[in-house]
Structure 1
Amino acid sequence: MRILFAVFDLPTRSHLLNIIQYNGYNGRGNCKIPGNSVNKQVRFPYSETDYATKDHQFYVETGRQALLHHNIAEIKGTTPLFDILLLPVMVPFDEMHLVYIGHFKTLIKYWDSMFSKVFQEASTFLSSIILPHVLLTDFTQWKAKMFRAFFLFAAAPFAVFYLPDRFANHFLKYFVFIRSLHYYHSKPHHLELKELIKEYQKDMSVLHGKSSELATSHYHSHLIQQVHDLGGLALTSCFVRESFLADTLKMVSW
């Protein structure tokens, strides 16, 4: 059997890598950028520096040392998966949890708190959109598939029509970045995408405060390399597996 990759949500990914938590000071999983605490919240400020990456050898050697010293760099120890998976390359970030019900959902909450009437004004717009899934005007009731449908097909015009220009321009950088990586087939524009996500992350705390510089925001820095290694984000998503499990449960007779 040949294993291509193993994809999970962020907490489970941390368990798979045998680290303390996915948003710990040294628990990002892919690089060595240090975190710091603001009001008891660990954040990862934007930096022009490209920090050293964590490769498979780092996990193996640090994991062995951690067995003797409880944990090192928030790695708790070794795992049998070291022998069948190349870490962290074969443990990609899941588009479903990182983007749609992760960072994008957080963005919508920011918009709702900062511009309280935005979704009220956009209710007609939302209810008139023809998408694979019906969008409820109350985004707090949305499921992952609704966040995905809204993001991929309607979020750009929504931002342009209903958000202040500064916030709309900021979001469009993120939209183009994710939309470009969703079905990614070639590498000619990877440098442009790298600059795009840097500009987005740089302005994140300016528009939404320092508390917005979360691990989920930083993880986007690694998505370009991920799609180079494994293909578009749509190909390393939990949506297929989640849909399969849901359909299987429907077929089960209790």
Structure 2
Amino acid sequence: MYKKCFYSRRVIYRRKRRLQKIDYDRNYSTSSSASSSSSSSSSDSGHETYDVNQYGQNAQSIASDIMTASNKEISAYENYHDDEYDNINILNDLQENALQQSPPLYDGCRFSTIKTVKMLMDFLISRVSLDKSNIINLMKLIKMILPVPNALPISWKSIMKLFGKINLSSNCTNDRCALYKRTLKTNEIVEIVNLDVRTQLKSIITRNINLIKQNYNLFPPSDITSASFYKSTTSNTNSNTITIVLHTDGAPLVRSAKLCIWPCFGSIVELPPPVREYQTNIILLALWSSKTKPDVNVFLKQTIDDIEYLITNGTTFYINNVEYNFVVRTQFFLADLPAKALFLKTTSFNGYYACNYCMTKGFWNGTSVIYPYNKNDLQLRTHREFIAAAKEAEEKATEKRLANVQGVKGLSYLLRIFSYPIQIVLDYMHLVCLGHVSSIIKRWCKIIDKVDLLKIDNMLHSAKYPHNVHVTYTESIMAVEFWKAKHSRLFVLYLGVPIGISCLPILNASHWVVYCLLIKLLHTPQSGEDVNFAEKLIHLYCRTIVDVYDESLELYSLHAHLHLPSQVRLHG
């Protein structure tokens, strides 16, 4: 890790403010004994004597003192020269300090009201998971126990007021909007939450700084850090790097109301697996809650602006008395096929020009759009051509209908931080485990008899797994649509070959073994030769699937397999 041998103005300023806060708390502790008699009399009377106007004057004087102190601090360190990493506005620190200087919970308390409520909310909501009514009842009980007077809020409105204003509106105030002054329907209301990216990055990096600083390699050979794209983006910098992976998907909140929530997550590549996937190390970037699907240019605008700022300017974290400079990069965007089309403003997976990587056009076979292997046009798309097509589509679009230019329907805000298509990757879980494997098994159920199907079920139930594999096949292979991704993953990587050889016809078994082998090679390649061999097997598998089954399996989900080897070379 690279570190500075000097401290920035911000670090020195925060040290001074910390000392001032210690003195502030000490003064309250000293004055508490002197004011205990007056507090007791107030407690007996049962009336609060806290002067709100006096607090407003005190807050103004405190803010004035902070501004004066900051000006003195700035002038005292004029010899320090700002560098490219000092991108934190000092006004942010002033706001944080003003927040900390809120009135104490009661006379003589060492904690401010805001800090006390925040600690209680963190515990009651995050740790205990109490609902709103029980939280309010508990807050009322705590308020009765505390000395009188005290400033503990006992209503949800007053709790929210402590942390700032929240504006909610049920009608549009934009006079240019078609919904101007009209009360919005429930399916037109959208709730968007944007969370601070830098604060979460600092928290995760601070907790895992020893892992990031380690000199020994904890990454497997086939990890992202060993792939060509990561090496190319980190080889030209001597600074510490934070590389972010973005992924998103939608999930229903209430089935009856059709309300869905779309979270956007981020993970840090520099953390070795499995630490990278721990819940505490996942960044929650934004949330979309609505009955309608998200518009990426509205949903992720603030998040992408924040990440773009960090990419341009870098950031600095003060960890264990050491100041670290970090360069921020993005690795790739990951989503299933429907979500990818939605967030990139492209044709869905069941349409023409659905491929994100090449110019292959689908054909209608009477029931669905297929992508025959012998009609593939594997000319790769480029970022510049995609941007041009997106702008052309926006120019041709009307109020009632979107234009489609070679599968592109508009310009996505994601392209400000991702390069198309090399940073847009296919989701292995949905494409392979929940997609093609399920389709192939359904075909098996039509061509083999019930005796062999029962034999497969018995083999799945009687299989012995290692102690760290917690998978149980409770559903029959005839109900493969109820399998989870972990069942299909275990099947295609380990169980599928012996089961296929013993229960399938020779032609189907041979074809299936080819698929299992190529997925295994791409899942954990040990060298570039493994990826090259898997690429040959993919072309063999896709070319012969019509001879083994029929053309109805030549969907885009099969065609996308052709681009998996290049994705593994780029991103592992």
Q: Deviations over 1:2-27 (max 9, x none)?
A: 22111111100111221121231111
Moved more, 111-120 or 66-75: 111-120
* Aligned mates of 1:138, 1:76 — CA distance in 2: 41
One-letter code of the match for 1:93?
L
Moved >3 Å (runs of 4+):
none
Tell whether the 8 Å contact from 1:7 to 1:93 is kept in structure 2 after alignment. Answer: yes
Alignment match, 2:406: 73
* Aligned mates of 1:66, 1:186 — CA distance in 2: 42
SS of equivalent residue, structure 2 residue 437: helix
Q: 1:53 aligns with which of 363, 367, 380?
A: 380
Check if 1:98 corresponds to 2:431.
yes
* Aligned mates of 1:116, 1:63 — CA distance in 2: 50
Tell whether the 8 Å contact from 1:13 to 1:22 is kept in structure 2 after alignment. Answer: no
SS of equivalent residue, structure 2 residue 373: coil
Alignment match, 2:330: 3
Alignment match, 1:227: 568
The structure-2 alpha-carbon separation of the partners of 1:49 and 1:76, relative to structure 1 and needing over 3 Å to count, comes to closer
Q: Deviations over 1:217-242 (max 9, x none)?
A: 010000000000000xxxxxxxxxxx
Alignment match, 2:520: 179
Check if 1:111 corresponds to 2:444.
yes
Alignment match, 1:163: 504
Q: Deviations over 1:168-203 (max 9, x none)?
A: 110111111110000224212433222211111111
Check if 1:136 corresponds to 2:470.
no
Deviation at 1:49, TM superposition (A): 5.6
Tell whether the 8 Å contact from 1:126 to 1:136 is kept in structure 2 after alignment. Answer: no
Deviation at 1:48, TM superposition (A): 7.5
How do 1:24-43 and structure 2 match up within 5 A?
Answer: 24-43=351-370
Moved more, 50-59 or 212-221: 50-59
Tell whether the 8 Å contact from 1:127 to 1:137 is kept in structure 2 after alignment. Answer: no
* Aligned mates of 2:412, 2:375 — CA distance in 1: 33
Tell whether the 8 Å contact from 2:354 to 2:407 is kept in structure 1 after alignment. Answer: yes
The structure-2 alpha-carbon separation of the partners of 1:188 and 1:160, relative to structure 1 and needing over 3 Å to count, comes to same
- Gap runs ≥5 in structure 2: 1-327, 397-402
* Aligned mates of 2:418, 2:437 — CA distance in 1: 29
Deviation at 1:50, TM superposition (A): 5.4
The structure-2 alpha-carbon separation of the partners of 1:104 and 1:180, relative to structure 1 and needing over 3 Å to count, comes to same
Check if 1:126 corresponds to 2:460.
yes
- Gap runs ≥5 in structure 1: 232-254
Deviation at 1:215, TM superposition (A): 0.5
The structure-2 alpha-carbon separation of the partners of 1:137 and 1:40, relative to structure 1 and needing over 3 Å to count, comes to closer
Larger radius of gyration: 2
Q: Deviations over 1:28-53 (max 9, x none)?
A: 11111121011231001112865201
Say which structure is richer in helix. Answer: 1
Alignment match, 1:197: 538
The structure-2 alpha-carbon separation of the partners of 1:224 and 1:121, relative to structure 1 and needing over 3 Å to count, comes to same
* Aligned mates of 2:435, 2:382 — CA distance in 1: 25
Alignment match, 2:494: 153
* Aligned mates of 1:147, 1:49 — CA distance in 2: 28
SS of equivalent residue, structure 2 residue 404: coil
SS of equivalent residue, structure 1 residue 130: coil
Q: 1:87 aligns with which of 412, 420, 425?
A: 420
One-letter code of the match for 2:455?
E
SS of equivalent residue, structure 1 residue 2: strand
* Aligned mates of 1:179, 1:77 — CA distance in 2: 37
Q: Deviations over 1:151-178 (max 9, x none)?
A: 2110010111110111111011111111
One-letter code of the match for 2:561?
H
Q: 1:64 aligns with which of 373, 391, 409?
A: 391
Say which structure is richer in strand. Answer: 2
Q: TM-score, normalised by structure 1?
A: 0.86
The structure-2 alpha-carbon separation of the partners of 1:190 and 1:147, relative to structure 1 and needing over 3 Å to count, comes to closer
The structure-2 alpha-carbon separation of the partners of 1:33 and 1:49, relative to structure 1 and needing over 3 Å to count, comes to closer
One-letter code of the match for 1:134?
T
One-letter code of the match for 2:373?
Y
Q: TM-score, normalised by structure 2?
A: 0.39
Alignment match, 2:178: none
The structure-2 alpha-carbon separation of the partners of 1:119 and 1:218, relative to structure 1 and needing over 3 Å to count, comes to same
Tell whether the 8 Å contact from 2:358 to 2:380 is kept in structure 1 after alignment. Answer: yes
Alignment match, 1:249: none
Higher relative CO (Cα under 8 Å, sequence separation at least 6) belongs to 1
* Aligned mates of 1:180, 1:130 — CA distance in 2: 23
Identical-pair percentage: 29
Tell whether the 8 Å contact from 1:8 to 1:93 is kept in structure 2 after alignment. Answer: yes
Alignment match, 1:247: none
The structure-2 alpha-carbon separation of the partners of 1:137 and 1:22, relative to structure 1 and needing over 3 Å to count, comes to closer
SS of equivalent residue, structure 1 residue 176: helix
Cα RMSD, aligned residues only: 1.6
SS of equivalent residue, structure 2 residue 381: coil
* Aligned mates of 1:191, 1:47 — CA distance in 2: 21
Tell whether the 8 Å contact from 2:532 to 2:565 is kept in structure 1 after alignment. Answer: no
* Aligned mates of 1:78, 1:198 — CA distance in 2: 32
The structure-2 alpha-carbon separation of the partners of 1:91 and 1:116, relative to structure 1 and needing over 3 Å to count, comes to farther
Tell whether the 8 Å contact from 2:390 to 2:408 is kept in structure 1 after alignment. Answer: yes
Check if 1:20 corresponds to 2:20.
no
* Aligned mates of 1:114, 1:60 — CA distance in 2: 46
SS of equivalent residue, structure 2 residue 533: helix
